[in-house]
Amino acid sequence: MSNFKFTLPFTTTKPTAAKAVAITPIKKKDFDGWLKKQDKALQTLAENSGFKPGGKSALIVRNDKGGMSSIYILVGDTLGIYDVPGALCEIKGQLSQEFIDKHVFTLSTSKLSKNDIENALIGWAMAGYQFDRYKASTSKPAILHWPDKAGKKRVEAFAQSLYLVRELINIPAMDFGPAELEAAARDVAKTFTAKVSVIADEKLLEKNFPVIHAVGDAAGKTRRPRLIKISWGNAKHPKLTLVGKGVCYDTGGLNLKPGQYMRNMKKDMGGAAHALSLGRLIMALKLPVNLNILIPAVENAVGGDAFRPGDILKSRKGLFIENTNTDAEGRLVLADSLTYACERKPELVIDFATLTGSARAALGEDVAPFFSTDEKTAKTLQDIAANNDDPLWNMPLHQDYVRLIKNSASDLINSAAPPGDLIYSALFLQQFMSAQPEWLHLDIFAWESNGRPGRAKGGKDTGLRSLFALLESRYG
């Protein structure tokens, strides 16, 4: 499970005329003008097919012998990352798999901006992603010839990182515990000659990461808890630290989750997948930052060594935490990690975590809430996300609620009664941040429940592209 270099659905070999299928994008604002210039037969075909803004997004035109002539697709005035997958889904619905296997698609880019081309190609890659490690046979994705104007390095960097986050989340926990997450981190780091260090098992206690150790201690001999660190970049560049919750499976501990909520808990390391994948993108595109990635990797299991409701744990920061719910373990492993992140005095700390059900109750599955200690950064990120097909919503660090996580028996409790756990958990994490670094916290779902074009059912990138756009605007 340590090979995370993916084959993307592109080719640099130019197809012969017989094997090439041309796709021409038309922006919705240009549709009426385009249609008027077409002959009567094509106008009638478009009308009869429902090919128009708000209708069908793909039109297949055949010649008088019934063969393929051309394909037109409708895209947004600013081409979004999911425009091409939507049209491609319609195209594939009208073509046989045999046809797709034998042909190569080409994309007309003459009317597209550089950003449009980039989004079109990333979208094509997303449409081609399949989680097929456990399938005896799979269908071949549609292959696209690289357009001449394509920024190949940038598109590949995004596609590889977005595939990575999905793949890591999708692998079942039986094959992906803390050790396998470490192997994945090493695989990514090796690609960019980044340094990896790991503090595991009893060493966590020796090095003063007691809460990470407590959460993962019951998982058995082969699934020992660990803190994974990747370091990359020039020491003279601004310090950036990414932190990702790496709970490889979450039973809820002794406060066991109900079965319907435990079904997809292989995705509870979705925060780690996002931190690692965003880090991969930063390294691939050589963003000028001094990067650290921290992943507390554990399994929240039930056993004789499991931490209990009512236990009081001393954290790396020295704050005592009464555990009121063993199913609020993610914020515990992040507590030690965020304290450690602040010790090197970075400029910015970003953490990702599949943390609370109340985040989904508040904003649904697609929109991820985020918290920021800087109002200007929060506004910038929300504006970026609104225009990036990657929605995020700023939530308040309402300080009056801190009283709800205080406790007479200890400094803090890890879980106050809902509703409000979305904010309470963020405030809990903030107690482990020092005053210096700017901080962004994302409470993500990291899962596509039903499946849509470009968003296969299963692991999903959430906020990753918006965060990279923020970092690129800040450091690029």
Degrees to nearest 5, angle at CA 339 with 392 and 167: 50
User: What are the tens digits of pLDDT across the range 225-255?
Assistant: 999 999 999 999 999 999 999 999 999 999 9
Tell me the CATH architecture of domain 158-475.
Answer: 3-Layer(aba) Sandwich (3.40)
Reported as a single tens digit per residue, the pLDDT across 109-157 is: 999 999 999 999 999 999 999 999 999 988 999 999 999 888 999 999 9
- Active site (annotated) includes residue 331: yes
Q: Which residues pair with 228 in a beta bridge?
A: 198, 295
In contact, 335 and 432? CB cutoff 8 Å: yes
Query: What are 177-224's pLDDT values in tens digits?
Result: 999 999 999 999 999 999 999 999 999 999 999 999 999 999 999 999
Contact 165, 390 (CB under 8 A): no
pLDDT tens-place string over residues 169-178? 999 999 999 9
pLDDT tens readout for residues 295-326: 999 999 999 999 999 999 999 999 999 999 99
Which of 52, 186, 203, 257 is an active site residue? Answer: 257
Question: What pLDDT is recorded for position 171?
Answer: 98
Alpha-carbon distances, residue 412 vs 99, 211, 415 (angstroms): 62, 13, 9
- Whether the predicted pLDDT of 1 surpasses 60: no
Whether the pLDDT of residue 344 is over 60: the answer is yes
Q: What is the pLDDT, as a whole number, of residue 2? A: 60
Q: What is the mean pLDDT of residues 29-44?
A: 97
257 catalytic? Reply is yes
**Interatomic CA distance for residues 81 and 62, integer angstroms:** 27
Per-residue three-class SS string for the chain: CCCCCCCCCEECCCCCCCCEEEEEEEEHHHHHHHHHCCCHHHHHHHHHHCECCCCECEEEEECCCCCEEEEEEEECCCCCCCHHHHHHHHHHHHCCHHHHHHCEEEECCCCCCHHHHHHHHHHHHHHHCCCCCCCCCCCCCCCEECCCCCCHHHHHHHHHHHHHHHHHHHCCHHHCCHHHHHHHHHHHHHHCCCEEEEEECHHHHHCCCHHHHHHHHHHCCCCCCEEEEEEECCCCCCEEEEEECEEEEECCCCCCCCHHHHCCHHHHHHHHHHHHHHHHHHHHCCCCCEEEEEEEEEEECCCCCCCCCCCEEECCCCCEEECCCCCCCHHHHHHHHHHHHHHCCCCEEEEEECCCHHHHHHHCCCCEEEEECCHHHHHHHHHHHHCCCCCEEECCCCHHHHHHHECCCCCEECCCCCCCHHHHHHHHHHCCCCCCCEEEEEECCCEECCCECCECCEECCCCHHHHHHHHHHHHC
Contact 155, 125 (CB under 8 A): yes
The pLDDT value recorded for residue 3 is: 77
| Residue pLDDT, tens place only, 369-393 | 999 999 999 999 999 999 999 999 9
**Average pLDDT for 257-273:** 95
Cβ atoms of 270 and 464 within 8 Å: the answer is no
Residue 67: band (very low, low, confident or very high) from pLDDT cuts 50, 70, 90: confident
- Domain 10-150 part of CATH 3.40.220.10: yes
pLDDT > 90: what percent of the chain? 94
Which residue is catalytic, options 331, 360, 460, 465? Answer: 331
Numbered ranges of CATH 3.40.630.10 in the chain: 158-475
- Mean pLDDT of the residues in the chain: 96
pLDDT at 69: 82
Cα(113)–Cα(77) distance, rounded to whole angstroms?
11
> Would you place residue 168 in the very low, low, confident or very high pLDDT band (cuts 50, 70, 90)?
very high
End-to-end CA distance of the chain: 33
- Kindly state the tokens that stand for 331: 């914020």
* pLDDT at residue 63 in the model: 82
Least Cα distance to 347 among 274, 295, 289 occurs for 289
Q: How far apart are CA 129 and CA 107, in angstroms?
A: 19
pLDDT of 452 higher than 80: yes
- Which residues make up the CATH 3.40.220.10 domain(s) of the chain? 10-150
Looking at the chain, how many residues does it have?
476
Q: How many CA atoms lie within 13 A of 286 on its CB side?
A: 1
Q: Cis link prior to 419 (omega < 30° from 0)? A: yes
Residue 253: exposure state from Cβ atoms within 10 A (0-12, 13-18, ≥19): buried
Q: Does 434 have pLDDT greater than 70?
A: yes
Determine the pLDDT at residue 119: 97
